[in-house]
Amino acid sequence: MGIFSLSHAPLYSKGGGKNGKHNNIDEHVNIGGISYLGTQVYEHLNGCQFRAITEVTASLQTKQFRFLPPFTFLYQLSATPKLTITGLELVAVDLALFQELSKTIGAFDKAVKKSTARKGRQKRGARRIRPKTFEVKNIISGHTYSCPQ
């Protein structure tokens, strides 16, 4: 399906109580308090260019939107992208980070699947095996993060 960059749209947060409704909010101080992030999907074309009409929706000539859960929020762009007729263009710093993260997209997919998988009951006498980890380095801040594979 390709690699995508996302533009910001509305935030949704669940109200109080057991059966609280998800409501549109303007901002939130804690990322864990956000239920979903509404985003427009852009498909990487080449270089710093991303197109608004993705390959999946090209036959209909429509844009694509998604609601993302909070564990998939990865990075906020350092500058507003330049909007073009067909999509958008990233600044050099954000493009470098996108290219670096694109190299490890498979590892991110595995980490997200493992973090969201339901944990089954462990059988009696079974040993728990510690998962292997991989490291991701933020090229802007220089911080290194360890993530389970």
Rounded Cα distance between 149 and 147, Å, is 6
Q: Is 109 helix (H, G, I), strand (E, B) or coil?
A: helix
Q: Is residue 21 part of a domain?
A: yes
Q: Are residues 59 and 108 in the same domain?
A: no
Question: How confident is the model over 21-40, as pLDDT tens digits?
Answer: 666 666 666 666 677 777 78
Residue 30 pLDDT: 65
Residues of the chain with pLDDT under 70: 1-17, 19-33, 71-75, 119-149
Given a contact cutoff of 8 angstroms between Cβ atoms, the answer to whether 50 and 89 are in contact is yes
Q: Which residues pair with 137 in a beta bridge?
A: 144
Angle between helices 105-116 and 92-103 (to 10 degrees): 70
Q: Is residue 138 part of a domain?
A: yes
Residue 130 pLDDT: 52
Q: Is residue 123 part of a domain?
A: no
For the chain, the domain total comes to 2
Given a contact cutoff of 8 angstroms between Cβ atoms, the answer to whether 48 and 89 are in contact is yes
What is the domain extent for residue 141?
Answer: 104-116+131-149
CA distances in angstroms from 59 to 44, 53, 56, 85, listed in the order given: 18, 9, 8, 18
Q: Are residues 135 and 82 in the same domain?
A: no
Residue 2 pLDDT: 43
Q: Are residues 18 and 65 in the same domain?
A: yes
